[in-house]
Chains A and B, each alone.
Chain A
């Protein structure tokens, strides 16, 4: 998908940490003051944060989907799951710390037709861009499916419920909602909806199952990818995924995505 035009407003701006909200032992939501990002970020876009501005470890920036913005306050939020040194450092930042934030980056979700019912399928921290979309949507999301390993990792489920008509939860261990993969809930969730469109974000195997269901049921599907990024600007070609079709071609998660139509991706080669 390509929504990049002359209105590209990417900037490298200081982002000042204002709130660290611990949501679970491994999740924090961070609020940063950065009016440029708050003013321009659209659902599906991300910011590329320099975690160690004064040092070289970690070296590369870390990308995070924008979880939400408060345009009046000039702030944006990101959801961080601790998976390594970079995310660990983010969770431990002192208040008022300033980090360089490059953004907003990437292709956002397209503007969705009000005649169509929106279904969200989130796996883990894949909730972040979908919650932003639900909060910004001009019409209320019809259904949201949200899965995680265990109940305490279903962070921000309350906020999701505020913006969606129906929310169904799933956990791998059965500690909350449906006991099993969230993808099991997809076919039933499409029943009785007006020309539904599915928006999915989560681990790649999860998204592959969602895409497969949508293909079988003839439902349009958009996916948002996570990847290790270099530049975030489409220059380094480090974050590619295989594109559908012949001959072999790759698309950049950072620039051509992170939001793709399901049929743009070669799911068999992923």
Chain B
């Protein structure tokens, strides 16, 4: 610790383009419900924002069960965007977080470009919302989702349409299931993305050899957890190198502060904690505490000054 920083608390504020957060730790979509499920278990004051479960225009029942299974240091899921639809989200889910002053990023999913735009327009001005996350990377639905996120032209079109429909800061969530994530990242920025979040789950599969059936009813599913972390760190680093001005939210298997710091050093300004919430309901808060201790140890006055500070 240097003299200048001694005794001063580490500054945890993070600026992602137009979005300023009190801490760089965000809960990842689909892993924290709508916040209320974690009442009394998670320290919401330590969270920069809660990203809510992906919503669609109309309610969706989701995929048949089984939807999840454990894999080596990870898990597969194919929930299929079960959600009550945007109206029930706005009237029944969002207020709980808004009333508690928890900043919310709403994750939106469409089957068409128009649906994404309609969703974004509906959410514009809703109390509590600080950003919209455009999910063009869900691997578990038949239409929309990852179809958009695998094609630079489609990515740019969707982002453009959402950009025109909302004044909220715009996050675009990228899929790792692509040949070049940098190409998709460029397209999202060209379409008007303020922030990129990466990565969504890796497409995977696991088979029950006794029954000769996939463990997940849908067959394929999204892999998350520590198993995917090195892939996620690599992709954050690639995108940061190619687009150093683009604010990034890095995620993929973060369980501890040390894991989160890897993403920060690779170029992410904030991190998403996902699967870890299932294992430890207060994971996000503990990740932040760990990150602060790391900053203190290396003499950093803020988390922000560590962003992209990888030595090569």
Contact = CB atoms under 8 A, between A and B. Distances in A.
Interface stretch (B99-107, B179-187, B189-197, B272-280): B272-280
Chain B interface helix/strand/loop/mixed? loop
Given A50-B279, A56-B255, A235 B33 contact: yes
A164 interface: no
Interface in B28-73: 30-33, 37-41, 53, 61-62, 64-70, 72-73
A58 interface: yes
A21 interface: no
Interface string A25-42: 000000000000000000
Given A50-B280, A56-B226, A233 B68 contact: no
Given A12-B282, A56-B225, A59-B75, A235 B69 contact: no
Interface stretch (A66-74, A143-151, A247-255, A256-264): A247-255
Contacts of A234: 33, 37
Interface in B60-110: 61-62, 64-70, 72-75, 77, 79, 82
A77 interface: no
Interface in B186-243: 225-226
Contact of B281 (A57, A102, A228, A249): A102
A22 interface: no
Contacts of B40: 8, 10-11
Given A59-B70, A237-B82, A247 B61 contact: yes
Interface of A: 8, 10-12, 50, 56-61, 100, 102, 227-228, 230-242, 247-250, 255, 269
Interface of B: 30-33, 37-41, 53, 61-62, 64-70, 72-75, 77, 79, 82, 225-226, 255, 275, 277-282
Given A60-B70, A236-B278, A242-B65, 14 more contacts: A8-B39, A11-B40, A12-B280, A50-B280, A56-B73, A59-B73, A59-B226, A231-B37, A233-B33, A235-B33, A237-B82, A248-B61, A250-B65, A255-B37
